[in-house]
Amino acid sequence: MTLALSGYSAVFMRYAFAVTPKNYLLFACHAINFSSQATQGYRYLQYWNWGGREKQLESAAKLEGGKLAKEAEGLVNQAKGGMDKMVGEVKSAVGK
């Protein structure tokens, strides 16, 4: 669809200058549309063909891995705190 709209806009940009009087408003509208479609086409190719998808998935995996590491660290600290409390209770029970 992007290719079709780019071609359409290119044809009508040419047509805008072929008619008399020259239609600058038509040219400007189709020039903006052509530029937008070219940008969209580049974004599509970047994502699917030039490694953009892999980079996005990799950064998402790193972010998720960082969250999991923080969660695991919190659980380890919680377990250590529970063990310290249990050791204190055992020492006080043995000392009686």
Whole-number Å distance between alpha carbons of 79 and 88: 14
Q: How far is CA 1 from CA 32, 77, 86, in A?
A: 16, 55, 67
**Which among 12, 35, 38, 11 is positioned nearest to 24, based on CA atoms?**
12
The larger pLDDT score, comparing residue 77 to residue 32, is at 32
What's the pLDDT tens digit per position in 7-23?
A: 999 999 999 999 999 99
Supply the pLDDT for residue 96.
63
Which domain range does residue 34 map to? 2-95
What's the pLDDT tens digit per position in 39-90?
A: 999 999 999 898 888 888 888 888 887 777 788 888 888 888 888 888 888 8
Query: Has this prediction a pTM greater than 0.85?
Result: no
Q: How many domains does the chain have?
A: 1
